[in-house]
Structure 1
Amino acid sequence: MDPSRRSVLGAGLFSAAAVVPGWPDVHDRLQRVQEDPHTRIGLPEVSAVISMTEHMSDLDDKFGGRMARPMAAAFLVNTIVPALRATAGEEVKNALRSAAADHLYLTGYMAMDEREDGLAQRYYTKALELAGSAGDHLTYCTTLRGMSVQAVDLGHGPLALRLADAAAAASPQAGPRMLAFLTGQQAHAAAQTGDRAGALQRLKAAETAMDKAESRAKAFGSYDPSAMNYHIGQVRYELGDIAGSIESMELADRLREPAYRRTRVRYNAMIAERKLAVGRLEEACVDWNGVLDDYPLVQSGRCDDRVRIMLSSLRPHLGNAHAREAYERGRALLRTA
């Protein structure tokens, strides 16, 4: 099976007019696939899908979507799709649909990281269908939130807010960590639309929920104080507080686990961009050089974008030796990538 970007769902362009699907629209409405009577699966096969998805998520965090997604796409087509067609009891089928939805969500995130944004939307939509069919609110809400992250990253604030609100509305009895996970994204999207009061209100709710989550035993999931401070930094930036956003983003970096290399590249590049914006050129160059230490190890379209922004930002400052050094280094590495 050729796992190229056009072989699974097709590419296409990101649609800012995408319809926000509600839970009733996807719950129990997955089109029935033709069952293969010669193949039967059980919970061990479901566990294998979950384990592979977790492993590919680790690879994505360290090395970027462009490296990991072909493997995820091949596993989807060669293993998950045949399993979805296999004979199984209803409990196993629902567990598999849930695991498959999570894998599709991850694969969509990888496609977004490649800057294949239309393809990412298609993966996300299929993830919603499978999550709804399995009755899996968690993956459904997480996927809607992922779609909001994609939209806000592309500058589609109103769509990002609608998606974030839909994710929060569909989450029944969310615990404090999940509430912070959803509300932090609502705050970021609201800030991008210029809704200062709404953004700050949601940010306060996210911080309160995060405090409650951290006072308990650690729960599974990646939303942690580092992610919370990232959202604080993004809200501050969208509302015009660049210095405050730098402070929050630097705290997020200090709290971040070392394994998240791709995140470190992207977010530290943002810190450098913002330091340059407030006149801290040489500090920005130090940060950009740190970014360039990690950049060759990550295969990510979004990281490529940040290096391109670095080059365009430094071009007017090439009379400064620090800026010129970072510029020449970045240009050589981007050309290699």
Structure 2
Amino acid sequence: MLLCEALSRKLGRMVTLDEIGLPAPPMSPEDMLGWQVDTLAALTKLGRVDVDAERRRVLSTAAYSLAALALPPKRWWSQMVERGQVRGAAEGRTVGRGDVDTVHEMMSLFSHVDQRRGGGHARLAVVQYLTSDVASHLSGRYTDDVLRRDMFTAASELSYLAGWMAFDNGEHNVAQHYFNVAVKLAAEADNPALAGHVLRAMAHQAIDLGHQKRALKLASASVDGERYTAASPRERALLGVVYARALAANGEKQGAARALLRAENDLAAANSGDDEPGRVFFFGEASLAHETACALRDTGDLAGATNQFRRSVKKRKASTFARTHAVTLGYMGAIQARQGEIEEACATWSRSLDAMDGVRSGRTRQVAAEMRAALSPYKRRSGRYVQDVDARAKLYLSTFA
């Protein structure tokens, strides 16, 4: 590594062990999160760990790393772009446009499964495809750099999806590793909008885990410069509404309000004729309303949050987006319970539990657990509706025991 560092300084670009013909040293899971670690080496190591049941158990139970949320210096991006360009001249098999199209098709297939059934379904299938077929393409030879960048973009999106599914399933350390690889792949593809998309997901995860200040730094980075300006209007809206959530979580109400308005305007500017990436297919009025509701809830505007959750439920195609539909209803029921509207909350939670049928998601499990906790003081002195919802939530949770 010292030799690589010396050569990197001499040449003014990042030099890897592979380039100078030396084997890479063994990496621990913590090592893989370093921004200077070779992208493909980290991906290969991560895949080997994740597909092995015992090693995956160790990875999934390891602590989420706050240190790894620190962003690399600005010069890192140009270094990664140069590294990617060097890869295009590899001696592996020639990669064609059909290979890129196939990865996009698989990404679309797995993304729709995730949206409908949750991150607990098929995540390892995504990992196996990413770390075998797709990883071999990344080590291949390309006839031009546009094709290479497209493949690295597709691989980044798939790594992001593996991370998102792990995040949704409550495997936060695993998710963090895939998000990290996804940012590196986006940098090697010189795709700032995609990097912003992944940083937005990292911010979302940090918000959910209670690391609000770090979440705001990540969200701010996701809307900084070309990460925002190079994105399509729909993706800008997605980045912007999570930025608003991070501001709200940090008590910055006015900033959150301005960010929400900009996100609304960005989504209003989106249309079916836009040349937008497939990764944002899920984000529409229902998603914007859901995230807006979360931001309003975190600023204490419970009435406004309830209205936005209702709007989200009304606008969403529930059969296609069952996981988020269940979570939205769960959050809305929680607000109703906080306001003492227990019977109304139970009616909402009953609909949430209906939507959870067949869904495997850490977020739906958390919603079910929070139902039971909120209903605990009422079980003995309230009506049958409380006992019914509690029993159904208990049954749902038991399927994951």
TM-score computed with the length of structure 2 as normaliser: 0.78
Task: Name whichever of 327-336 and 119-128 sits farther off.
Answer: 327-336
Which position in structure 2 is the counterpart of 1:262? Answer: 323
Q: Does 1:155 align with 2:203?
A: no
SS state of the match for residue 279, structure 1? coil
Of residues 137, 142, 157, the one that matches 1:102 is 157
Distance (Å, rounded) in 2 between the aligned partners of 1:34 and 1:261: 40
1:203 pairs with 260, 281, 284, which one? Answer: 260
Which residue does the alignment assign to 2:127?
Answer: 73
Q: CA deviation at 1:217?
A: 4.7
Counterpart of 1:13? 63
Tell me, in whole angstroms, the C-alpha distance in 1 between the residues paired with 2:261 and 2:357.
Answer: 37
- Closer, same or farther: CA 175–35 of 1 in aligned 2, 3 Å: closer
Contact 2:302 2:335 in 1 (8 A): yes
Q: Which residue of 2 aligns with 1:245?
A: 305
Match of 2:5 in 1: none
Residue 41 (structure 1) aligns with: 95
Equivalent residue for 1:178, pick from 235, 243, 247: 235
Task: Work out the CA distance in 2 between the residues paired with 1:68 and 1:245.
Answer: 33
Matched, 1:229 2:289: yes
CA contact (8 A) 1:105 1:124 kept: yes
Per-residue CA deviation, residues 105-152 of structure 1 (Å, 9 max, x unaligned), is: 111000101111111111111111111111112211100111111111
Larger radius of gyration: 2
| Partner AA of 1:325 in structure 2 | D
Question: Quick check: 324-333 or 34-43, which moved more?
Answer: 34-43
| 1:157–1:193 contact (8 Å) kept in structure 2 | yes
Q: CA deviation at 1:229?
A: 1.3
Find the residue that maps to 1:296 and give its secondary structure: coil
SS at match of 1:40: coil
Which residue of 154, 166, 170 maps to 1:115?
170
Residue 317 of structure 2: SS of its match in structure 1?
A: coil
- After superposition, the C-alpha distances for 1:6-57 in whole angstroms (9 at most, x for unaligned) are 4599443222342124664234425877987452221111111111011000
SS at match of 2:93: strand
SS of structure 2 residue aligned to 1:41: coil
Task: Output the CA distance in 2 between the equivalents of 1:296 and 1:173.
Answer: 39
Asked if the contact 1:147/1:160 (under 8 Å) is kept, the reply is yes
Q: Provide the aligned C-alpha RMSD in A.
A: 2.4
SS at match of 1:124: helix
In structure 2, distance between residues paired with 1:98 and 1:8: 29
| Amino acid aligned to 1:83 | H
CA distance in 1 between counterparts of 2:249 and 2:180 reads 24
TM-score, normalized by length of structure 1? 0.92
Q: How far off its partner does 1:191 sit?
A: 0.5
Matched pairs, number: 336
2:70 aligned counterpart, secondary structure = coil
CA 1:286 to 1:144, structure 2 compared with 1: closer, same or farther past 3 Å? Answer: same
Partner of 1:92: 147
Counterparts of 1:255 and 1:270, CA distance in 2: 16
Structure 2 residue runs of 5 or longer lacking an equivalent are 1-47
How far apart, in 1, do the equivalents of 2:58 and 2:178 lie?
7
Distance in 2, Cα, partners of 1:74 & 1:8? 16
> Do the aligned residues in 2 keep the contact of 1:124 with 1:147 (CA within 8 Å)?
yes
Deviation at 1:219, TM superposition (A): 6.5
Relative to structure 1, the CA distance from residue 219 to residue 46 in structure 2 (aligned partners, 3 Å threshold; closer, same or farther) is closer
The structural deviation recorded for 1:60 is 0.6
Q: 1:194 aligns with which of 209, 233, 251?
A: 251
Q: Secondary structure at the match of 2:251?
A: coil
One-letter amino acid matched to 2:221: A
Q: In the aligned structure 2, how far is the partner of 1:283 from the partner of 1:8?
A: 40
2:27 aligned residue: none
For 2:329 and 2:313, the matched residues in 1 are separated by: 8
Which amino acid is 1:96 matched to? Answer: M
CA contact (8 A) 2:153 2:186 kept: yes
Displacement after TM superposition at 1:333 (Å): 2.2
The superposition leaves residues 193-240 of structure 1 with CA deviations (integer Å, 9 ceiling, x where unpaired) of 0111211121122223233336x7566433211122122211211111
Q: Secondary structure, in 3 states, of the residue corresponding to 1:65?
A: coil
Q: Would you say the 8 A contact 1:114–1:301 is kept in 2?
A: yes
Superposed displacement of residue 161, structure 1 = 1.1
Contact 2:192 2:230 in 1 (8 A): no
Q: Do the aligned partners of 2:89 and 2:142 also contact (CA within 8 Å) in 1? A: no
Does the CA-based 8 Å contact 1:145-1:167 persist in structure 2? yes
Which deviations, in whole Å up to 9, do the C-alpha atoms of 1:67-120 show, x marking residues without a partner?
121110111122111111122223322211111001001110001011111111
Closer, same or farther: CA 308–4 of 1 in aligned 2, 3 Å: farther
Q: Kindly provide the amino acid, as one letter, of the partner of residue 399 in structure 2.
A: T
Task: Determine which of 356, 369, 372 is the counterpart of 1:308.
Answer: 369
Which runs of no fewer than 5 residues in structure 1 stay unpaired?
Answer: none
Q: Which amino acid aligns with 2:128?
A: A
Write the mapping of 1:271-282 to structure 2, written as runs, cut at 5 A.
271-282=332-343
Q: 1:184 to 1:34 in 2, by over 3 A?
A: closer
From the superposition, tell whether residues 199 and 119 of structure 1 become closer, same or farther in structure 2 (CA, over 3 Å): same
Partner AA of 1:114 in structure 2: N
Distance 1:93 1:212, change over 3 A: closer
Q: What residue identity is the alignment partner of 2:156? A: A
* Alignment match, 1:291: 352
Alpha carbons of structure 1 residues 280 and 83: separation in structure 2 relative to 1, 3 Å: same
2:3 counterpart residue number:
none
Q: Does 1:127 align with 2:179?
A: no
